[in-house]
């Protein structure tokens, strides 16, 4: 399966991937970014969350204080924003609009609130994919194996998972992540199909008109 947008120009799309914590969306997103590096980029969010060990400013997130985040929100510089576990997250508008206008796709690793706001802001450009865990037991096991959170935080994430999962119906596609390799193939297939949608291939009209002219001339001759 190719990662190329093809020889005809097209408008980029916004690929939103959401899931409860531990269902695998971040792993799938990273694999997709590696496989589609020529045409797909990650939307780097701004956040008021403290930086975690191993994270880099401008790579994982743009880390801001509360005052700067509020200013960006009030000035309309964010496509979407949300509060999650007491911290604020948002998507800078300018970088996203520049990317899709140039034919690049933008990947969003966001929760359902962010996905809904993106769909409201840019409905013709957004494709939403929800990642479900195969069971509650598997979800808890994955959260524990990450070794990022203590038992109290894991309990909170498990309690929140039911609410997050209740929003699956808002999404265009749903992938049950029982096997990471199969789920990756399914996610990449969604991206490939969405790139071929007629309305995103911006040069199709002129191509078809030229084909018809050439065919007409060939028939007359």
Does residue 117 fall inside a structural domain? yes
Does residue 92 fall inside a structural domain? no
Does residue 206 fall inside a structural domain? yes
Q: Taking each helix axis from N to C terminus, what angle separates 25-35 and 180-195, rounded to the nearest 10 degrees?
A: 60
pLDDT tens-digit profile, the chain (221 residues) = 444 444 448 999 999 999 988 788 989 999 999 999 999 999 999 999 999 999 999 988 999 999 999 999 999 999 999 888 899 999 999 989 999 999 999 999 888 988 999 999 999 999 999 999 989 888 878 787 776 677 777 787 787 888 999 999 999 999 999 999 999 999 999 999 999 999 999 889 899 999 999 998 877 65
Q: What is the pLDDT of residue 220?
A: 67
Domain interval for residue 20: 14-43+103-220
In 3D space, the residue among 197, 153, 143, 144 whose CA is nearest the CA of residue 23 turns out to be: 143
Q: Return the H-helix or E-strand segment holding 185.
A: helix 180-195
Q: What is the pLDDT of residue 5?
A: 43
Q: What is the pLDDT of residue 85?
A: 80
Does residue 156 fall inside a structural domain? yes
Dist CA 85 CA 113 (whole Å) = 13
Q: What is the pLDDT of residue 221?
A: 58
Dist CA 59 CA 73 (whole Å) = 21
Q: Tokens 């880390």 appear where?
A: 63
Dist CA 176 CA 185 (whole Å) = 12
Does residue 61 fall inside a structural domain? no
Rounded to two decimals, what is the model's pTM? 0.81
Does residue 204 fall inside a structural domain? yes
Task: Read off the tokens for 81.
Answer: 């924003």
E-state strands within the chain: 14-18, 40-42, 46-47, 62-63, 78-84, 87-92, 105-109, 126-132, 173-176
- Classified as helix, coil or strand, 93 is helix
Backbone angles phi, psi at 174, to 5 degrees: -130, 130
Does residue 159 fall inside a structural domain? yes
Does residue 56 fall inside a structural domain? no
Q: How many domains does the structure of the chain reveal?
A: 1
CATH of residue 195's domain is 3.40.50.300
Q: What is the pLDDT of residue 145?
A: 77
- Classified as helix, coil or strand, 88 is strand
């Amino acid at each position: 399966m190719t990662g190329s947008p093809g020889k005809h120009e097209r408008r980029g799309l916004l690929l939103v991937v959401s899931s409860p914590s531990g269902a695998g969306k971040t792993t799938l997103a990273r694999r997709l970014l590696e496989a589609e590096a020529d045409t797909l980029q990650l939307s780097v969010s701004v956040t008021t969350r403290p930086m975690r060990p191993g994270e880099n400013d401008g790579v994982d997130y743009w880390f801001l204080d509360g005052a700067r985040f509020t200013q960006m929100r009030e000035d309309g510089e964010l496509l979407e924003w949300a509060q999650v576990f007491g911290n604020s997250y948002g998507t800078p508008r300018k970088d996203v609009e520049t990317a899709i206008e140039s034919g690049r796709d933008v990947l969003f690793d966001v929760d359902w609130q962010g996905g809904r706001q993106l769909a409201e802001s840019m409905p013709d450009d957004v494709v939403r994919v929800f990642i479900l865990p195969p069971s509650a037991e598997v979800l808890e096991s994955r959260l524990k194996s990450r070794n990022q959170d203590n038992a109290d935080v894991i309990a909170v994430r498990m309690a929140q998972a039911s609410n997050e999962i209740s929003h699956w119906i808002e999404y265009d596609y749903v992938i049950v992540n029982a096997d990471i390799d199969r789920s990756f193939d399914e996610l990449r297939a969604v991206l490939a199909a969405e790139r071929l949608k007629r309305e995103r291939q911006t040069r199709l009209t002129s191509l078809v008109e030229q084909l018809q002219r050439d065919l007409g001339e060939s028939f007359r001759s």
